[in-house]
């Protein structure tokens, strides 16, 4: 293409698609709907019936599973979760993720914490493409996931992904104050693509991403994240993003 030529731009448009309800949540929606019918038709308690209808709609919204468009590019690390960036800190990696079979012996990593409220999509996605090297579940407490100590005290699950070039990215699903179950959809040895669904956390929680040394976050505190779409960082780029709340 010469300097006078213009790149071709496609004319295809994209229409909005109503998110489906993930199978993991359909049973909860059916239960809530059945309770609503019970209140309306059997007990004749309309006010409780309408409350149950609202609960049914909320359950469907909570377990919504929207289609995401994942950006392509060398070295991109995308967000594994919807939510807000509430912490960016230089911290040691969890002991379950250190060592030769983990993230290595590096002293500290930049941890980007994404808080998911009960209104966010709770399906988590792979931040990079590669092989699942480790899935480590640790039982624990159910403190507010927005607290820093939740990364060490709460029920959590660590997942380690290794790219074809040997780069390893670890991320942690953390149960929160309301969350009571972390549901994995992958196991060691599985091959995942970037942005692929890997699990969910029910009812409010947090996901931590550990960036390798020499890689700075391209997101800022307070930024809204979209799982499988928002670029958290680019491997080897050590210039952190800056932003302003407004």
Q: What is the pTM of this model?
A: 0.82
| Residue 16: other Cβ atoms inside 10 A | 5
Q: Which of 147-151, 154-158, 203-207, 209-213 has the lowest mean pLDDT?
A: 147-151
Q: Report the run of H or E that residue 55 belongs to, with start and end.
A: helix 46-62
What are the beta bridge partners of residue 233? Answer: 77, 217
The rounded distance, in Å, linking the Cα atoms of 188 and 191 is: 9
Hey, which residues are catalytic here? 205
Q: Average per-residue pLDDT in the chain?
A: 84
With 80 as the cut, is the pLDDT of residue 149 above it? no
Of 41, 109, 90, 82, the C-alpha closest to 195 is 82
Question: Distance between the two ends of the chain, CA-based, in angstroms?
Answer: 41
- How do residues 169-193 score in pLDDT, each as one tens digit? 999 998 866 555 788 899 999 999 9
For residue 182, what are its two tokens? 């972390």
């Amino acid at each position: 293409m010469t300097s006078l030529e213009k790149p071709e731009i496609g004319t295809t448009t994209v229409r909005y698609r109503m998110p489906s309800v993930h199978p993991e949540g359909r049973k909860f929606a059916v239960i809530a709907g059945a309770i609503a019918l019970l209140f309306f038709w059997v007990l004749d308690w309309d006010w409780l019936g309408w409350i149950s209808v609202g609960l049914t709609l909320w359950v469907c919204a909570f377990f919504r599973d929207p289609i995401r468009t994942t950006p392509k590019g060398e070295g991109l690390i995308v967000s594994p979760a919807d939510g807000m960036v509430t912490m960016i800190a230089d911290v040691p990696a969890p002991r379950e993720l250190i060592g030769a079979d983990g993230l290595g012996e590096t002293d500290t990593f930049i941890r980007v914490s994404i808080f998911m409220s009960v209104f966010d999509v709770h399906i988590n996605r792979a931040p990079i493409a590669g092989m699942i090297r480790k899935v480590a579940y640790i039982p624990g407490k159910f403190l507010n996931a927005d607290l820093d100590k939740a990364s060490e005290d709460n029920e959590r699950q660590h997942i380690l992904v290794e790219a074809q070039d040997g780069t390893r990215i670890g991320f942690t699903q953390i149960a929160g104050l309301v969350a009571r179950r972390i549901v994995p959809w992958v196991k060691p040895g599985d091959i995942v693509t970037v942005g692929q669904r890997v699990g969910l956390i029910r009812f409010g929680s947090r996901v931590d991403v550990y960036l390798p040394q020499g890689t700075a976050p391209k997101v800022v505190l307070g930024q809204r994240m979209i799982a499988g779409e928002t670029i958290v960082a680019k491997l080897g780029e050590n210039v952190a993003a800056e932003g302003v709340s407004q």
